[in-house]
Chain A
């Protein structure tokens, strides 16, 4: 048990996993309690050190207090659950109507998703931000994946005596794209890990599903870009599967917002991620291939639980609010 109030409150904060504004409100109220309690005990004749010790021990273990506070504060409203559902519904409708094959519609959808994710990001990161952020990163990842052959092609062109300026421009542009992708993705993962690893998993979940699907499209239909505008019968079925799967992910995201217990949230996200992966693989493959199914499930388990390891790496300091507790009062 920490020996002084600031260390005690810091430990509670590090286990809270709430958004910085809410965490500040919680800590301010506890701080106010300790000021009252210590003053009261001093008034009863206790010396300072004993009063602080007594106040801390009668409050309870920091982890227990943080867990109770999390359960009391973390449950989002129905409105937040509804907003969390929307990016998934939007992407599901792109698949259901096959409109993802129309580049302008695809681009517009992801611009809207990225804009809303950015709004949430700038406004104290309410819990619905993370399901939007998951999809918002996908254009960068897809673009990076599609450009994977560009540097090698540019080098080949150089060695064949092609246009040097053009080749170097392509190499620089691709390097810049990779730099931006890594910077944005790693930055987001580190920042969200500081708050809660489960939120990173929520963010990664749609990326994993879209990734499996994009790889299957590549495997089956040549290049991903080549698929735009074509609609073979098998891929129409894939679109239907993806539409259902994205709707399922949406319902998971909405349920996640409404759940109170953190353990339940974590288990739900990892388990549903694995089930989604298994369903996707069995609908994309002709028939069930056990080996591939197990590999995908294991891969998703590792991906979705890996954020658990980030926190010790980046330190335990919780995210700090940008404003005073009063500004967050409700």
Chain B
């Protein structure tokens, strides 16, 4: 366990949901909602636990902004599933968000870390 999911401000996660989703979609040719939810939970060792119903509206917003592309596919068992793939605009957006995040995290660390004598 990376930590108790209650131990962070949920606004922090909400503000970064799009970056998390985009980062994972970018790693796959195409992926779908449930797989994204599982991967976030597994890779954060249970730290990030979404209310699952919030992921699909977030995916739709990414789609509206042209950052991902959604496509219906029929599985051999007859189940229909919506798959998401990254667009060029999404890749650029993600790269920018990662740059911003790294600068932010470095600056936070500089301020929060006790000054070295």
| Chain B residues near A40 (CB-CB < 8 A) | 34, 38
User: What per-residue 1/0 map shows which CB atoms of B73-117 lie under 8 Å from chain A?
Assistant: 010000111100000000000000000000000000000000000
Q: Are A325 and B72 in contact (CB under 8 A)?
A: yes
Q: How many residues does chain B have at the interface if contact means C-beta atoms less than 8 Å apart? A: 23
A55-100: which residues lie under 8 A (CB-CB) from chain B? 58-60, 64-65, 68-69, 71-73, 75
Q: Are B32 and A68 in contact (CB under 8 A)?
A: no
Distance from B41 Cβ to chain A, minimum over Cβ atoms (Å): 10
Q: Are B53 and A60 in contact (CB under 8 A)?
A: yes
- Secondary structure at the A interface, as helix, strand, loop or mixed, is helix
Specify the chain B residue showing the minimal Cβ separation from A330: B70
Q: Are A325 and B80 in contact (CB under 8 A)?
A: yes
Separation of A129 and B79 alpha carbons in the complex (Å): 33
B18-71: which residues lie under 8 A (CB-CB) from chain A? 32-35, 38, 51-54, 56-58, 60-61, 64, 70-71
Separation of A68 and B14 alpha carbons in the complex (Å): 13
Q: Are B33 and A33 in contact (CB under 8 A)?
A: yes
Neighbour of A60 across the interface among B32, B33, B54, B61, CB < 8 A: B54
Interface: A32 (CB within 8 A): yes
Separation of A35 and B61 alpha carbons in the complex (Å): 23
Q: Are B64 and A72 in contact (CB under 8 A)?
A: yes
Interface: A220 (CB within 8 A): no
Neighbour of B80 across the interface among A28, A73, A75, CB < 8 A: A28
Q: Are A37 and B57 in contact (CB under 8 A)?
A: no
| Chain B residues near A330 (CB-CB < 8 A) | 70
Q: Are B56 and A69 in contact (CB under 8 A)?
A: yes
- Secondary structure at the B interface, as helix, strand, loop or mixed, is helix
| Chain B residues near A73 (CB-CB < 8 A) | 60
| Chain B residues near A37 (CB-CB < 8 A) | 34, 52
Distance from B14 Cβ to chain A, minimum over Cβ atoms (Å): 11
Separation of A75 and B52 alpha carbons in the complex (Å): 22
A59 and B51 in contact, given A69-B57, A73-B60, A325-B72 (Cβ under 8 angstroms): yes
Q: Are A68 and B33 in contact (CB under 8 A)?
A: no
| Chain A residues near B53 (CB-CB < 8 A) | 30, 59-60, 64-65, 68
Separation of A25 and B81 alpha carbons in the complex (Å): 10
Separation of A26 and B32 alpha carbons in the complex (Å): 14
A32 and B52 in contact, given A325-B80, A329-B71 (Cβ under 8 angstroms): no
Separation of A58 and B34 alpha carbons in the complex (Å): 12
Distance from B93 Cβ to chain A, minimum over Cβ atoms (Å): 18
Separation of A82 and B51 alpha carbons in the complex (Å): 36
| Chain A residues near B38 (CB-CB < 8 A) | 40
Separation of A36 and B38 alpha carbons in the complex (Å): 11
Q: Are B34 and A75 in contact (CB under 8 A)?
A: no
Q: Are B79 and A71 in contact (CB under 8 A)?
A: no
Separation of A196 and B34 alpha carbons in the complex (Å): 30
* 5 closest cross-chain pairs (CB), A and B: A60-B53, A72-B57, A65-B53, A72-B60, A36-B34
A residues near B (Cβ < 8 Å) are 25-26, 28-30, 32-33, 35-37, 40, 58-60, 64-65, 68-69, 71-73, 75, 325-326, 329-330
Please name 21 pairs of A and B residues whose Cβ atoms are closer than 8 Å in the assembled complex, sorted by A: A28-B80, A29-B82, A32-B80, A32-B81, A32-B82, A33-B56, A36-B35, A37-B52, A40-B38, A65-B53, A69-B56, A69-B57, A72-B56, A72-B61, A72-B64, A73-B60, A325-B80, A326-B72, A326-B80, A329-B71, A329-B72
B residues near A (Cβ < 8 Å) are 32-35, 38, 51-54, 56-58, 60-61, 64, 70-72, 74, 79-82
18 new A-B pairs (CB below 8 Å) besides A25-B82, A330-B70?
A26-B56, A28-B72, A29-B56, A29-B82, A30-B53, A33-B33, A33-B34, A35-B79, A37-B52, A40-B34, A40-B38, A59-B51, A60-B54, A69-B60, A71-B57, A72-B64, A326-B74, A329-B71
